[in-house]
Amino acid sequence: MIGVLVIGAGGHGRVVADILLRTHEVGGNYKPIGFLDDDPRLLGVRLLRLEVFGPISELDRFAHDAAIVAIGQNSTRARIFKSLRVKGERLVNAIHPSAVLAPDVSLGNGLMVCAGAVVNPSTRIGDNVILNTGCTVDHDNVIGPHAHVAPGVHTGGGVRVEDGAFLGIGAVVLPGRTVGEWAIVGGGAAVVRDIPPRVTAVGVPAKVIKQHESGGLAHGDRAGEP
């Protein structure tokens, strides 16, 4: 059994811990042993029968075999992921038993594939990506590191989602389109043309409404929702 510390005890952290528990129940090697979170109100709290041990900075204090960064906000997740990789931490994947992945899908490290997600052939998923509940990623997609594909998103064939991009709940990306790095696509949007890097785009069809000075989501899991 490989004991995994879950970094982040918010909503997404609990989802990821549940994925690891469900996977362990059906014979997987990974088992969550507890959470780390910087919210002092969570210290000692038990979530899914797992304790919040302490802040993220105290990772080395707690015996573990591996870790996973389970934070919805892309920029925060990317920063912590990179710092743990520099330290030599083993970063594992959490893939729900109900997810369907084609045999030739390429997977990075430290990524999360939630319940009901479907990933079709010849797709590449980068490090630290979230493929959230019930999303579908069609053939020949490239999902860049630190991207977040929210629940119910559907991408057509040959789509590129660049590093750190966020696709909001229920968004649709037509075949062959690109969503630029650190871009935000609002919930329910329809991407019919390429979305430039570091912008927010919303609506049907998706139109740019804002440019960003720097990458990342500003308001957690719900950032980019119109």
Query: How much is the pLDDT for 224?
Result: 31
Whole-number Å distance between alpha carbons of 158 and 141: 5
Please report, in angstroms and rounded to a whole number, the separation of the first and last CA atoms in the chain.
43
* Residue 128 belongs to domain spanning: 95-206
Mean pLDDT of 207-222: 65
**Residues 86 and 24 grouped into a single domain:** yes
pLDDT at 219 over 70: no
Query: How much is the pLDDT for 42?
Result: 96
Active-site position among 139, 146, 148, 154: 139
**Residues 141 and 193 grouped into a single domain:** yes
pLDDT tens figures, 147-193: 999 999 999 999 999 999 999 999 999 999 999 999 999 999 999 99
Has residue 175 been placed in a domain?
yes
Mean pLDDT of 205-226: 62
- Strand order, beta sheet including 136-137: 100-101, 118-119, 136-137, 154-155, 172-173, 190-191
Query: How much is the pLDDT for 218?
Result: 38
Eight-state DSSP code of residue 65: S
List the CATH number of the domain containing 50.
3.40.50.20
Q: What burial letters (b/e) apply to 144-172, b meaning 16+ CB within 10 Å?
A: bbbbbbbbbbbbbbbbbbbbbbbbbbbbb
Averaged pLDDT of the chain:
94
Q: How many distinct structural domains can be found in the chain?
A: 2
Has residue 36 been placed in a domain?
yes
Q: Which helix (H) or strand (E) holds 32?
A: strand 30-36
Query: How much is the pLDDT for 35?
Result: 98
Query: How much is the pLDDT for 213?
Result: 75
Number of neighbours of residue 193 by Cβ within 10 angstroms: 13
What is the CB-side half-sphere exposure of residue 24 using CA atoms within 13 A?
Answer: 14
**φ, ψ for residue 60, nearest 5 deg:** -65, -15
- Would you call the peptide bond into 175 cis, given omega within 30 degrees of 0 as the criterion? no
**Residues 85 and 130 grouped into a single domain:** no
| pTM attached to this predicted model | 0.93
List the CATH number of the domain containing 112.
2.160.10.10
**Residues 116 and 136 grouped into a single domain:** yes
Picking from 63, 92, 121, the residue at the C-terminal end of a domain is 92
Mean pLDDT of 127-136: 98
pLDDT tens figures, 17-37: 999 999 999 999 999 999 999
Q: Is 139 a catalytic residue?
A: yes
Q: What is the DSSP string of 155-187?
A: E-TT-EE-TT-EE-TT-EE-TT-EE-TT-EE-T
Pinpoint the alpha helices (H) of the chain.
Answer: 11-25, 74-86
Question: Which of 216 and 107 is assigned the larger pLDDT?
Answer: 107
**pLDDT above 70 as % of the chain:** 94
pLDDT tens figures, 55-111: 999 999 999 999 999 999 999 999 999 999 999 999 999 999 999 999 999 999 999
Burial of 104 (0-12, 13-18, 19+ CB in 10 A): exposed
